[in-house]
Homo-oligomer: A and B are copies of this chain.
Amino acid sequence: MSQMQSVEKQLREMILGLEIGPGEKLTERWIESRFGASRTPVRAALLRLETEGLVGRDGRGWTVSPINLAELEQIAVYREAVEVAALRLTCALADRSGVDVIEAMLESCDSNTPREEWHRVGMDFHIELARLSGNEFLFRAVRDAMTRLSRARWLEVRDEAALARAWAEHRAILAAIRLGDADDAARRLSAHIVGSRDRLVTSLANDRRGLRARGFAVVAA
C-alpha cells in the first residue's frame, strides 16, 4: 500500500473515530510528523478526504469538517431518494438471496455486542442493501452518504429501545423485499430514514452544548 493510501486510511479513521474532533484545524506538517510520511502523500490524502467531505479548506489551511445540522437534513433527503431507488431495483431482481447475508449481519448483534459494532452494522445495513441493487452509482452514493453521517450517528444519544426499534425496522424492510413487495419495502425504508434523521438531528441539537464542551464543532448551517 502506498503512503498516500496509508495516510488517507489512518487519517479517515482518526476523523471518523473522533480522535480528531469536528472543526479541528489540521496542518500538513502535523500530519506529516504524525504518520511519518512526507508532505507529498499527505497532501494527496487530504485532497481525497476533501472530496469525501471529511476535511475542508478554511481559507488557507485544512479543517476537519464540523457536524452540520443542515447538512444532515439534506443528506437524509438524498439518501432517501437513492436508497429507495436501489431498493426497488433489488426487489425487481430474480435472485434476492443477498438479503440473507444482510439479515445474518443484523442477527450478529446482541446485548453483548460492543457499541462500535452496532454502529458499524447499522451503517453497513444500508450500504450492503444498496450494493444488492447492482448499480455502482447508487451504491457509492449510499456509502459516501453514510460515511458523512458516521460521526453524527456516533455522537447521537441512543438508548437500547431506539436501537431495538431500528433493528426491527431493518428486519421489516428485509422481510418486505423477500416477499417482493417493493412498495411496502420502499415505504418502510423511507419512514426509517426520515425517522432516523429526526431523532439524530434532535439529539444533536439538544446535546449541542455538551458536544461543544468536548471541543466538537456543531453548526446549524
Contact of A138 among B43, B77, B138 (CB under 8 A): B77
Which residue of chain B has its CB nearest to the CB of A70? B136
* Residues of chain B lying within 8 A (CB to CB) of residue A135: 74, 77-78
Q: Does A82 contact B (CB under 8 A)?
A: yes
Q: Does A31 contact B (CB under 8 A)?
A: no
Q: Which of A68-97 contact B (CB under 8 A)?
A: 71, 74-75, 77-78, 80-82, 84-85, 89
* Residues of chain B lying within 8 A (CB to CB) of residue A81: 81-82, 84-85, 138
**Within the complex, what minimum Cβ distance (angstroms) separates A54 from chain B?**
13
* Residues of chain B lying within 8 A (CB to CB) of residue A71: 136
Q: How many residues of chain A get a CB closer than 8 Å to chain B's CBs?
A: 23
**Within the complex, what minimum Cβ distance (angstroms) separates A6 from chain B?**
15
Q: Which of A1-60 contact B (CB under 8 A)?
A: 40, 43-44, 47-48, 51
- Given A44-B47, A78-B141, A141-B141, 10 additional A-B pairs, CB 8 A: A40-B40, A47-B48, A71-B136, A77-B85, A77-B89, A77-B135, A77-B138, A78-B82, A80-B85, A81-B82
